[in-house]
Copies of this chain bind each other. A is one copy, B any other.
């Protein structure tokens, strides 16, 4: 029984010689429809292989049961962990997920948002790209009535919903651990100097030193543009210092991977000559022979899950609310 055109409500109404609206109501288990008619309708619907035309429903209901997710990258483990959890939450809520990766290109990011808007998604989850400076899109979405929740990489604004990992706790823990292991020469390999995430790390780093009465030495902070070459240059800069650090906190795991490889290649022994702790975005250290001493975990899955939950909250109760800000504590794990 090939269904050339999918059956519509009209056809099943004609078959039963009742009105389309009755059919519609029966199909939706409307209370005011008799049990018998409801059953008859459903029976014929099944026979005709009826399937509601969602595009029509979306159109009529002004609702798509779809959320949009905008991320810098889909292939980075941090984000794929996040989106995996987001998909899970959406699936529980009977929503579907439509997504785009900005690749840190602000223009592409905007185009994706535009697409999501024209697709009339019911809400958006977003982690902004490294180079995004223009936040005007937020007002546009707001005036279009599309709620948006930022997570992980969030704009530095107050009147938005965001879920993020606070970077300080983990940094303080890391420095404490280093100190308690006898290190005083503690470095920070930071990201691009102007990135909010870098600034936060730097402040936490300085605070951690102060807390342990270790003088802050400017040359112990180096910067990388997060490319492999930049990472290598950063560590070499540290290694070239007259009193090179014995402990290093690195911007994230990718930086740590490059940096640790370079260190090995220079003949130094990891976890002996020099020790590392990094902000985690990469889960497989346990397989390494010489992993970092510890990682500062940022829980991408939890962030994604929480952000999604928040978004569904906004979707379901659209009343203008106070912006919500959820901060996860970063935490040291995998201590060896």
Q: Are B120 and A55 in contact (CB under 8 A)?
A: yes
Q: Chain copies in the assembly? A: 2
Q: Are B119 and A54 in contact (CB under 8 A)?
A: yes
Q: Which of B99, B257, B287 makes the CB contact (< 8 A) with A99?
A: B99
A residues 71-116 in Cβ contact with B at 8 Å: 73-77, 80-81, 83-84, 87-88, 91, 96-101, 108, 112, 115-116
Q: Are A91 and B100 in contact (CB under 8 A)?
A: yes
Give A22 Cβ to nearest chain B Cβ, in Å: 22
Give A266 Cβ to nearest chain B Cβ, in Å: 14
Give A190 Cβ to nearest chain B Cβ, in Å: 21
- Does A51 sit within 8 A of B, measured CB to CB? yes
Bound-complex Cα distance A115 to B97 (A): 11
- Does A169 sit within 8 A of B, measured CB to CB? no
Residues of B within 8 A of A66 (CB): 98, 119
Bound-complex Cα distance A6 to B284 (A): 48
- Does A2 sit within 8 A of B, measured CB to CB? yes
Residues of B within 8 A of A64 (CB): 55
- Does A288 sit within 8 A of B, measured CB to CB? yes
Bound-complex Cα distance A119 to B260 (A): 48
Q: Are A261 and B290 in contact (CB under 8 A)?
A: no
Which of A51, A80, A143, A264 has the most B CB atoms < 10 Å from its CB?
A80
A-B contact pairs, 12 of them (CB 8 A): A53-B120, A54-B118, A58-B58, A59-B59, A66-B98, A74-B84, A74-B87, A75-B84, A96-B115, A97-B99, A98-B99, A258-B287
Inter-chain pairs besides A56-B59, A58-B58, 14 sampled, C-beta below 8 Å: A2-B143, A54-B118, A55-B59, A55-B64, A58-B59, A75-B77, A75-B80, A75-B81, A75-B84, A87-B101, A91-B108, A96-B98, A97-B100, A287-B288
Instruction: Give me the 7 closest cross-chain CB pairs, A-B, nearest first.
Output: A75-B84, A80-B80, A74-B84, A59-B59, A55-B59, A54-B118, A257-B287
